[in-house]
Amino acid sequence: MVAAVPSSGLFSRNGDPAKRKLIFLGSLSSLPDNVMAEVRSLHIEHVSPARLMRPEISRRPLAGARADEVVLAALRRWFWTRKPDAGFFLTDFPATLLQALVFDEWLETRCEALDAVVAAPEAAPVLVAHYRDLGLLAEAG
């Protein structure tokens, strides 16, 4: 079960809701319907490496380290071409601690910050710990 995410913690921060920067770690199928409805109400871009990589995958199959490189390249292109103040709901990335650290550097370089990270039960413990240490993990209570 996904950690309960009260509206007061994730979605009602001061500022423009269209500028929220959120990450979901784990399978979207484990995200409660009420939370997904609230994310949709923000009218922010839903970004997933699978969606960004479709053109690459259709050209040739990917495996191992090459697949990791392509994921980072696709996310890098998306990140650096988007408007800095545009909100997003990022799923399926980061999938590793290395990807999380790289993404942290991108955010820092652009003087941006995440608003929250929500983790499903199957999320990688190392990622959950990383975002908890940064104070970004939205948890029950």
Distance, in Å, from the CA atom of 21 to the CA atom of 116, rounded to the nearest integer, reads: 7
Is 65 within 8 Å of 87 (Cβ atoms)?
no
Q: What is the pLDDT of residue 126?
A: 97
Q: What is the mean pLDDT of each run of 10 residues along the chain (141 residues)?
A: 43 71 85 79 83 55 67 91 91 92 96 92 94 84 37
Using left for φ > 0, alpha for ψ between -120 and 50, and beta otherwise, residue 7 falls in alpha
Domain borders along the chain are 7-133
> For domain 7-133, which CATH number applies: 3.40.50.300, 3.40.605.10, 1.20.1090.10, 3.30.70.2740?
3.40.50.300
Distance, in Å, from the CA atom of 6 to the CA atom of 3, rounded to the nearest integer, reads: 9
Predicted structure pTM score: 0.78
Q: Write out the two tokens for 128.
A: 């959950």
> Quick count: other Cβ atoms within 10 Å of Cβ 32?
13
